[in-house]
Structure 1
């Protein structure tokens, strides 16, 4: 097993297991894909570990096979930020028994969710969503109004109490004085409707001091502090071959341009003064004729 938080992670939305899950792959890739598929989540699946885990293939063969599994849509390597309070980057490999296209992987790595309920291996979600896989600068927040400002939500919530029940009609000075408490209610997740219902429920008759009564209820019925939701995970895809972090659109089949290049080297230029193809054929014919006569002519 890898260190906690690292290693293999199963991608969501896979088809049920079948005998021919990896029948479309060459023998070596199918063997390693079957091995990885049977590993539990959190298992180490780096090249060195996979080479030591089975007796058939060494590290170079495993590295090549992982690149081909990535190109076939079965895996992606990512760097993922976890622990919002003390940010930490972990390195994970997402594996899918069901092969997926680049569009599916980009959407999943950007959102953490499978794109829709379809099991199509090549969904095409909008490109704008895939670009969110890398952290981006958030727009500046608009300036907050003072809790005592007549245009603030807290002031408005207090001022509307008298409309819901005349026994809690407050003056402008009362609203300004109580606005910090009302603002705390709203900060803890209370909506204006919940705020009004909580403060006007079961009012006595008469309410001798609306301001004092409202302050007491604001304190006694203050809602609890709700835990902040965890920020969305930040995942940066890596090239399966060289582990270089890249933007999603720069990876095809999980490989960067350098790793997926399969162009053959250019043939060497002809030597100066070399014979043409026709001259070579004529010379070869003369050699064969001379060998048949028992002598080899000079070139």
Structure 2
């Protein structure tokens, strides 16, 4: 009878993965904190992500012009200029143009560690002051009825019933819509009244409103189209401001490139 050999211990199963393995050491100085919204941005190119990381790591006041960046990295001015435009479009960079006291236009660069759209969405909404309710403006028909009802103050013979006021209101509204001031309408209806008693004031006013109706004002001539200059752009070569319909290079930089 043979002795039973003890079974060998089972080997630990190892899992092989092709994914990344992190070896993280803590940083105590000389480091920059970057959000995953930038590091893992799905719409930015890797050049733009790397350039944003570099810009955020620089001290305040460090020049980051296109020529300065091209002298540091191998991408070249064209790729760096395109990456800067990507960062502008996604809210990580702003390059506002400012006019100096000398009259020269310069470009100021602002770097955002969070996109401006995300910051605006996270900010609490500012409560709007309660609007003071305004009294509703009287409509054209309301003005017409008020005008007709007030004619008796000019001459008691122009006393109208409520039914007559409602019936004549559209005719007065037509005068008002043609640009005649209410005072001119009242003057037309109350000037040169006959000396005899007015037996039917509504019919009398109806006749004047119809017979003396002025023509409509002619249409105003169209305004000439205003000339709008092209927007200011930042030159991809020298970063000076120039006017052009699309981003690119200024005339001097284009001339130098053609000569080269």
Which TM-score applies when normalising by structure 2? Answer: 0.37
Quick check: which has more Rg, 1 or 2? 2
Which TM-score applies when normalising by structure 1? Answer: 0.32
